[in-house]
Amino acid sequence: MTYRIIQVGTGGQGAQWCSTYLPKNVEDGLIDVVAAVDIDPEQHENAIEQFGLESDQCYTDVRTAFEAVEADACTIVVPPWLHEDIVDAAIEHDLHILSEKPIADSLAASVRIATKVSRADLKMGVTMSHRFDRDKTTFRRQLRREDAGPLDYLVGRFTCNARSYGTWGAFRHEMEDVLMIEGAVHQLDFIADMAGSRCETVYADTWCPEWAEYEGDVQALVQLRFENGARATWEGAKANAVTLNGWNSDYLRAECRNETLVLDDRALVRYPYDPEQEGVVGGRATAGSPVVLDDRDKWGNTWLIEQFVDWLDGGEPMATNVQDNLQSMALIAAAMKSSRTGTPVDVQSLLEETRQSITTE
């Protein structure tokens, strides 16, 4: 079945959806983009050019579009604080939903969205694209090999030179907790996925240095402990002097019983445990074994759109369905709370407390 899609958001990241993520799935007959929405009419051209839409198939108001056009689902590619209103409109028109991360701009809004979608018996996925990038997918497969042995801990790094206004999209420079909401939401998500367990506690220290042209915190050091006993540490920064590991060039290291896995700028290397090297405390390990990255036709959001369609077709829920993705939102909310209080935060308790507060509203 080909699903009729209304694309909400055609400028900024929405332009990438129009030019890169959606077309392959249109070509494969999985979806048909039947309308587009953006508050800026000039951005409609992205959808007109890519999907052959007429100007009267492009709208500036979501509810007008949903009322006028017969569709099966919508995408949401707009700033996070607008997500809940669009989800409400989608539910009113019985549309399934595929949304850019995060679910919303707060844990409470995210829980409300997940609750409403469940009550409406609709399906909603969230595009945690970095988890399904080529390098992280290969890393995850290597980490799950029996030969690697149990995981001990993970180390991640995401550090960039984007300190000046507008270098990370103008709206982000005016957001509170922007690194957590717009950056760590991907990074901590794939770290938790690699850990293979829900996060138990998180301790975070976030701040904004005086030379960073942001309203919110853009630097962070985060410690995580998972329910299966694995640990992780993550360094995030948008205001450094140099970009060491920016978007799509992540650093991730897994320390397992039988080997160390190192992903750095899309190159993955295995370092097996060598008993003969025990006691050598100086210098650096000999060269490891490079791992060839997995190969497939689709990655990231393009692949996630396909997963969403498979779910609509009656397959298993996509891994980033909205209910499961609440774990990522709870992790981010707990990290922000930890930074404000200066103490570790129990992630699952925070999520449950938020759920309870929503049900009593």
Whether 6 contacts 62, CB under 8 Å: no
Q: Categorise residue 300: left if φ over 0, alpha if ψ from -120 to 50, beta otherwise.
A: left
**In angstroms, rounded to a whole number, what is the distance separating the alpha carbons of residues 65 and 6?**
8
What is the pTM (predicted TM-score) of this model? Answer: 0.92
Are 20 and 119 members of one domain?
yes
**What residue has token string 């220290």?**
205
* Phi, psi (deg, nearest 5) at residue 123: -110, 135
**In angstroms, rounded to a whole number, what is the distance separating the alpha carbons of residues 108 and 355?**
8
**Is 332 domain-assigned?**
no
Q: Residue 360 — pLDDT band, cuts 50, 70, 90?
A: low
Beta strand 73-76 with 96-100 is: parallel
Whether 43 contacts 15, CB under 8 Å: yes
CATH number of the domain bearing residue 105: 3.40.50.720
**In angstroms, rounded to a whole number, what is the distance separating the alpha carbons of residues 303 and 202?**
30
**Is 87 domain-assigned?**
yes
Whether 159 contacts 153, CB under 8 Å: no
What distance lies between CA 189 and its chain's CA centroid?
6
pLDDT tens digits for range 284-317: 767 799 999 999 999 999 999 999 999 999 999 9
**Is 356 domain-assigned?**
no
What distance lies between CA 356 and its chain's CA centroid?
25
**In angstroms, rounded to a whole number, what is the distance separating the alpha carbons of residues 300 and 294?**
13
Are 77 and 175 members of one domain?
no
Are 220 and 255 members of one domain?
yes
Instruction: Please tell me the predicted confidence (pLDDT) of residue 274.
Output: 87
Mean pLDDT value across residues 270-277: 88
CATH number of the domain bearing residue 268: 3.30.360.10
Q: Categorise residue 36: left if φ over 0, alpha if ψ from -120 to 50, beta otherwise.
A: beta
CA dihedral 182, 188, 189, 193 (to 10 degrees): 170
**Is 56 domain-assigned?**
yes
Are 19 and 56 members of one domain?
yes
Instruction: Please tell me the predicted confidence (pLDDT) of residue 315.
Output: 97
Are 137 and 286 members of one domain?
yes
Neighbour tally for 205: CB within 10 Å: 14
Mean pLDDT value across residues 130-155: 97
**Is 339 domain-assigned?**
no
Are 170 and 119 members of one domain?
no
**Is 347 domain-assigned?**
no
Are 147 and 72 members of one domain?
no
Whether 97 contacts 340, CB under 8 Å: no
**Is 315 domain-assigned?**
yes
Please, which residues have CB within 8 angstroms of residue 283's CB and are 6 or more apart in sequence? Answer: none
At residue 21, what is the residue type? Y
SS3 251: strand
Domains in the chain: how many in total? 2
pLDDT tens digits for range 159-197: 999 999 999 988 889 988 899 988 898 999 999 999 999
Neighbour tally for 15: CB within 10 Å: 18
Q: What percent of the chain has pLDDT over 70?
A: 98
Are 142 and 283 members of one domain?
yes
**In angstroms, rounded to a whole number, what is the distance separating the alpha carbons of residues 205 and 45?**
43
pLDDT tens digits for range 218-259: 999 999 999 999 999 999 999 999 999 999 999 999 999 999
Are 148 and 281 members of one domain?
yes
**Is 338 domain-assigned?**
no
Are 137 and 257 members of one domain?
yes
DSSP per position, 198-234: -EEEEEEEEE--TTS--SS--EEEEEEEETTS-EEEE
Q: What residues make up the domain containing 119?
A: 3-128+300-324
| DSSP H or E run through 185 | helix 185-195
Are 103 and 161 members of one domain?
no
Whether 21 contacts 90, CB under 8 Å: no
Please give the structure tokens belonging to residue 33: 């983009």
pLDDT tens digits for range 4-21: 999 999 999 999 999 999
**In angstroms, rounded to a whole number, what is the distance separating the alpha carbons of residues 327 and 311?**
20
Are 118 and 192 members of one domain?
no
